[in-house]
Structure 1
Amino acid sequence: MQNERDAFIAGLIALAGFLKANPEIPVSLAPVILRAFPANGPDDQMRAEVDRVAALLGTEIDPDHLPYGHYMTAIDFGPVRYEFIAILAAARARHAAEDSYRGCIKIDNL
């Protein structure tokens, strides 16, 4: 696990160095978001993991996402944002139900 983490961080640093050394390479002016998730489990365990990460980041839980069943915290580094999100059981079930209709509805070509 640590080797994967180290490789990921090294890749980010290499990309940043490459872009810095090659200013002619275009980059997005839109925000860049890196999302990470706790392992799926009971809601209370996933919320506890997000709370733990929020404490490490020195951030709060984002109340704007609670109505959607996303328990999250985030920190910004300029236009780069790190989010740690638990998608709670009701939101996962709602998504699965909505997704169960995928491919069932056919639109006639006019």
Structure 2
Amino acid sequence: MNNDRNALIAGLIALAGFLKANPQVPTSIAPVIIRGFPSNDTDEQMCAEVDKVAALLGTDIDRDHLPHGHYMTSISFGPVTYEFTAILATARARHAAVDSYRDCIQTDI
């Protein structure tokens, strides 16, 4: 895991350096979001992991995403955001139910 983390950080630093050194390369005005997720476990255990990350970030749980089954926290640095999200059992079940119809609909296109 530490190698993955180090590779991500090195890649972000290299990209930032490249973009700074090459102002002719266009960039998007859309925000950049780095997402992290706890290991699939019980809702309580995943929420506890998000709570730990929120404490490390000094942020709160984003209550706007709770109705959608996402227990998350985030921190932004200008247009760059780091999110850590637990996708709760009800949201995973809802997605699986919708996804189960994926190959059932045929179009004439």
TM-score normalised by the shorter chain: which range applies?
A: over 0.9
Is 1:11 aligned to residue 3 of structure 2? no
Aligned length: 109
For residue 90 of structure 1, what is the aligned residue in structure 2? 90
Runs of 4+ in 1 over 2 A off after TM superposition: none
Gaps of 5+ in 1: none
Give CA deviations for 1:31-80 in whole Å, capped at 9, x if unaligned. 11111100000000000000000000000000000000000000010000
For residue 63 of structure 2, what is the aligned residue in structure 1? 63
Give the TM-score normalised by the residue count of structure 2.
0.97
For residue 43 of structure 1, what is the aligned residue in structure 2? 43
Give the TM-score normalised by the residue count of structure 1.
0.96
AA partner of residue 27 (structure 1)? T
Give CA deviations for 1:15-45 in whole Å, capped at 9, x if unaligned. 0000000000011101111111000000000
For 1:59 and 1:71, locate their aligned partners in 2 and report how far apart those are by CA, in whole Å.
13
C-alpha deviation, 1:12, in angstroms: 0.5
State percent identity of aligned pairs: 73
AA partner of residue 17 (structure 2)? G
AA partner of residue 103 (structure 2)? G
For residue 2 of structure 1, what is the aligned residue in structure 2? 2
Gaps of 5+ in 2: none
C-alpha deviation, 1:4, in angstroms: 1.5
Query: Which secondary structure does the structure 1 equivalent of 2:82 belong to?
Result: strand
Question: What CA RMSD, in Å, does the superposition of the two structures yield over aligned residues?
Answer: 0.8
